Amino acid sequence: MNQLAKKSDNPLPKEIFKKGLELHHYANTAYPLNGTKVFKPFRTPNNEINQAATDTWQKVDELGLYIHIPFCKKRCLYCEYTVLPENTEELHENYVQLVLKEISLYKQLIQNKKTVGLDIGGGTPTALSLKNIDNLVSAVLKNQILDEKFDISIETTPYIAATEPEKIKQLKQIGINRISMGVQSIDPKILEEVGRIDNKTKILKQATENIRNADFKRFNVDIMYGFANQSIESWLATVQFTVDLDPEYITFYRNRYKGTRIEHDSKIVTLDEVNRQYDLAFDFLATKGYKENFGKNTFSKVKGDPGTSAYLTKRVIEGTPYLGLGLGAQSFSDTILSYNLGAASKKLNKYQERLNNNQFPLQDIYQIPTDEVMAKTICVSFYFGYINKQSFKKKFNENLENIFKEEVNFLTENNLMEHDGDLFKLTKKGKDNLTGIIPLFYSNRSKLNLLNYQPK
């Protein structure tokens, strides 16, 4: 333990800020930095997991839903998600049966509750047959009360969108109204370095055409920056190409190295470089009608539409609880954070075993105190580049400025964040120093953990 951590239980904002910048590949919107360590005291014993899950979801009256599909043709080297090594139709069928079973276990707890959105992610959810996707959607939405802004969003690879136009059409017909395509980069050299399938520009154009022919009006393209050896020219060529595809939304993801097979590469990627990549793309997108506030990751050219799915929008702005279904899925409510089996092992056997015994397939369930719920809620809100003070007050019955008095003062005095009506938002300087800002809202135990964190 370093000197500072020994000295005080309440580290100073400037120390945390400095450490967050030092750990700029780690102190991002994913909270906490080291869940197993920080949340250890709150872990529910295995024999109480079923009861804890039941009590939690019974109490929740509004939620978002997420279904995880862990299949990809090839695992990218930067992948931080739960993806299975096998990818056969037989396995797809078995997997869907298991998720349906999981849905049926939760149904008695969540049905007739207000549901803000459904995201189907992965992995590659469009790897499943249309029938399987439809079965999952119907089962999970049966007897749910849909919020007026409810939508269903699905992720696809360019290859599937380009080669299975009928499936894409039918996705729209079964009520999925937002589709997100992972392009990441058009640079073959970068794609090779990160072990990703090279979808030639012809495929990307065909995929876009098929998505438009299927009448999707909410189309997002994901692109990534912050890779080692990714030149500005390479990044801007991807941004330019993506703009030419003319999607309603473009989302930038900064590569997160933690726990991935290319974690060692993070050492050669500097904060200045990633800030420059973001800034150049940010300015360019603004000239093309995709205008957003500093720090936001999804750029929309539709007025009044943040571009994210309803599930994610509510999660980010209001901290709405979400239930994740499927292998390794994460769930978060006002009192618990949980991970399904498979999150650590990336294997199906235990998830399957638990469901076969009619038990929730949970690996860990942490009953966390309010400071942790606040920390996680705020960290995620930086996905939009701001904290909505009104939402914070509604959720926690407290003013943000009271709970984080020192931190808020530090941020305003240093021109890192500013008040703008209900929003406490990043300035340009704040955007450049985001990973110093985010941990200011960590719980004290998490701040101490950050100060002692040793990246691999």
Contacts with ligand SF4, residue ranges (CB under 6 A): 72, 75-76, 79, 81, 83, 122-124, 182
The C-alpha torsion from 381 through 387 and 391 to 396, rounded to 10°, is 90
Q: Which helix (H) or strand (E) holds 224?
A: strand 219-225
Q: Give the residue with the Cβ less far from ligand SF4, 102 or 155.
A: 155
Q: Give the residue with the Cβ less far from ligand SF4, 256 or 315.
A: 256
Computed from CA positions of residues 125, 128, 134, 135, in that sequence, does the dihedral angle turn out positive or negative? negative
Q: What is the Cα–Cα distance from 63 to 322, expressed in whole angstroms?
A: 5
Compute how many other C-beta atoms are within 10 angstroms of the C-beta atom of residue 146: 15
Q: Give the residue with the Cβ less far from ligand SF4, 13 or 122.
A: 122
Q: Give the residue with the Cβ less far from ligand SF4, 5 or 77.
A: 77
Please report how close the Cβ of residue 411 comes to ligand SF4 at its closest, in angstroms. 33
Cis peptide leading into 195, omega within 30 of 0? no
Q: Give the residue with the Cβ less far from ligand SF4, 155 or 364.
A: 155
Q: Given the DSSP bridges, would you call strands 152-156 and 178-184 parallel, antiparallel or unpaired?
A: parallel
Exposure string of 322-336, with b = 16+ CB inside 10 Å and e = fewer, is: bbbbbbbbbbbbbbb
Q: Give the residue with the Cβ less far from ligand SF4, 133 or 365.
A: 133
Q: Which helix (H) or strand (E) holds 184?
A: strand 178-184
Q: Give the residue with the Cβ less far from ligand SF4, 11 or 158.
A: 158
Please report how close the Cβ of residue 182 comes to ligand SF4 at its closest, in angstroms. 6
Count the residues in the chain: 456
Please report how close the Cβ of residue 160 comes to ligand SF4 at its closest, in angstroms. 11
Please report how close the Cβ of residue 443 comes to ligand SF4 at its closest, in angstroms. 29
Short-list 117, 207, 193, CA closest to 162? 207
Please report how close the Cβ of residue 409 comes to ligand SF4 at its closest, in angstroms. 39
Q: Give the residue with the Cβ less far from ligand SF4, 123 or 326.
A: 123
3-state class (DSSP) for residue 316: helix
Rounded to the nearest angstrom, the gap between the alpha carbon of residue 275 and the centroid of all alpha carbons in its chain is 20
3-state class (DSSP) for residue 204: helix
Q: What is the Cα–Cα distance from 253 to 376, expressed in whole angstroms?
A: 19
Please report how close the Cβ of residue 281 comes to ligand SF4 at its closest, in angstroms. 20
Residue 365 · residue 338 · CB < 8 Å = yes
Please report how close the Cβ of residue 178 comes to ligand SF4 at its closest, in angstroms. 18
Q: Give the residue with the Cβ less far from ligand SF4, 199 or 206.
A: 199
Paired residues of 68 in beta bridges: 121
What is the CA angle 203-205-208, rounded to 5? 110
Please report how close the Cβ of residue 181 comes to ligand SF4 at its closest, in angstroms. 11
Please report how close the Cβ of residue 81 comes to ligand SF4 at its closest, in angstroms. 4
Paired residues of 367 in beta bridges: 336
Q: What is the Cα–Cα distance from 423 to 430, expressed in whole angstroms?
A: 14
Q: What is the Cα–Cα distance from 82 to 170, expressed in whole angstroms?
A: 26
Residue 214 · residue 165 · CB < 8 Å = yes
Residue 372 · residue 335 · CB < 8 Å = no
Please report how close the Cβ of residue 196 comes to ligand SF4 at its closest, in angstroms. 6
Please report how close the Cβ of residue 163 comes to ligand SF4 at its closest, in angstroms. 16
Q: Give the residue with the Cβ less far from ligand SF4, 80 or 147.
A: 80
Please report how close the Cβ of residue 345 comes to ligand SF4 at its closest, in angstroms. 16
Exposure string of 93-103, with b = 16+ CB inside 10 Å and e = fewer, is: eebbebbbbbb
Short-list 62, 41, 37, CA closest to 367? 41
Q: Give the residue with the Cβ less far from ligand SF4, 157 or 443.
A: 157
Q: Give the residue with the Cβ less far from ligand SF4, 41 or 188.
A: 188
